[in-house]
Amino acid sequence: SRGPVRRSSANVKVVVRVRPLSQRETENNSRVIVDVVDDKMIVFDPKREEETFFFHGSKQKGRDMLKKQNKNTQYLFDCVFGPQANNENVFEGSTKSIINSVLDGFNCSVFVYGATGAGKTFTMLGTHENPGITFRTMVELFAQMESQKHDKDFEIGVSYLEVYNETVKDLLNPSSGALFLREDGAGVVVAGLKMERISDPNRMFELLEHGNQNRSQHPTDANAESSRSHAVFQVYIRMKTKSTAQTKMVKLSMIDLAGSERGAATGGAGVRFKEGSNINKSLLALGNCINALADGQRHIPYRDSKLTRLLKDSLGGNCQTVMIANISPAHPTIEDTHNTLKYATRAKSI
């Protein structure tokens, strides 16, 4: 049987998903700066044949001397999905395997990380025809609970909140205003957060979609669909073993993070700028917690932001974490893509 502390290196799974070029990127003939080599390897900023050719061409020489060398860096992850992968493939390779851990009593958390437009919400929520991993995870969870129902009774509640500008808002009940966090032993309780009992996953997609429509979104220069909020979907499971009447509570958190691009890139000022810096605060704090966990430090700075306080009982320790890093393959976002690959690499060493 499992010991109380599992080997830490097995507790995080890092998955990278490269979305297809958008129509505009295709029309603009954008250079592709990510090659998916196989199901584990990516080459960032690859050297291309024609570039090598031009480099040796005498006429272009002067110009190409000034041109930055391609980085041509290999990155290895637990799983890599290219532009052809659909949400079912991503589900199979990312969250499907954690459902066992959840039903074994381990808190789990799933993050989608990446710049705005990289495909985070597509991965998490998806569309009616092609639901994302949250819905698929719930369907699988219900199927596995069904197969265990002779041994155990289950009760499921879900909540959906956002952290926006370091303020917590209930996405299922937005009229309740700003909610406060209260320390409660190992974790944190969100006072007044609505918990919806679920007995069938089919209601889930509507619930998620409705919640997503309540997310705070502000158009910015960089991208009209920019999202500066972290959407936190949480599933609480109470399991009661029939033979012993023992009960256990477990939590699965799925988080659609705010865009990881630099605040400066959105050209905002005033309110926008403050929003940007506050979001950076939660993302920065998450990064610092990941760094501290990766370094095996004793002190993990969970208290530094709302997001990390919320996830204190679901990160590190016995928890299972899945990080899905979303990237665009197009050249204009090369800096964001590079940063996301570096962030994901860091998470790998937890």
Residue ranges binding ligand ADP (CB under 6 A): 19-20, 22, 114, 116-122, 225, 227, 259, 326
CA 287 to chain centre: 12
Choose the contact partner of 266 out of ligand ADP, Mg ion, none; CB within 5 to 8 A by kind.
none
Sheet containing strand 34-36, edge to edge, reads 34-36, 41-44, 73-76
Distances (CA, A) of 151 to 103, 140, 157, 246, 286: 12, 18, 20, 11, 37
Shortest distance, CB of residue 124 to ligand ADP, whole angstroms? Answer: 8
Residue of the chain from 121, 165, 173, 337 that contacts Mg ion (CB under 5 A):
121
Shortest distance, CB of residue 112 to Mg ion, whole angstroms? Answer: 8
Give 230 or 306: the residue with its C-beta nearer to ligand ADP. Answer: 230
260 is a site residue for Mg ion (CB under 5 A) = no
Q: Rounded to whole angstroms, how far apart are CA atoms 9 and 293?
A: 10
Shortest distance, CB of residue 125 to Mg ion, whole angstroms? Answer: 8
Neighbours of 179 (CB within 10 A): 19
Shortest distance, CB of residue 209 to ligand ADP, whole angstroms? Answer: 13
227 is a site residue for Mg ion (CB under 5 A) = yes
The β-bridge partners of 35 are 43
41-44/34-36 β-pairing: antiparallel
All residues at 6 or more sequence positions from 139 whose CB lies less than 8 Å from its CB, including other chains:
201, 204
Amino acid at 51: E
Choose the contact partner of 329 out of Mg ion, ligand ADP, none; CB within 5 to 8 A by kind.
none
CB nearest ligand ADP: which residue? 119
Give yes or no for a contact between 145 and 199, defined as CB atoms under 8 angstroms apart.
Answer: no
CA-CA-CA-CA torsion for 213, 25, 324, 131, nearest 10 degrees? 50
Shortest distance, CB of residue 186 to Mg ion, whole angstroms? Answer: 30
Give 121 or 137: the residue with its C-beta nearer to Mg ion. Answer: 121
Give 87 or 320: the residue with its C-beta nearer to Mg ion. Answer: 87
165 is a site residue for Mg ion (CB under 5 A) = no
Amino acid at 10: A
Size of the site for Mg ion (CB under 5 A): 3
Choose the contact partner of 13 out of ligand ADP, Mg ion, none; CB within 5 to 8 A by kind.
none
Q: Rounded to whole angstroms, how far apart are CA atoms 45 and 341?
A: 12
Give 13 or 120: the residue with its C-beta nearer to Mg ion. Answer: 120
Give 101 or 260: the residue with its C-beta nearer to Mg ion. Answer: 260
Give 79 or 258: the residue with its C-beta nearer to Mg ion. Answer: 258
Q: Which residues bind Mg ion (CB under 5 A)?
A: 120-121, 227
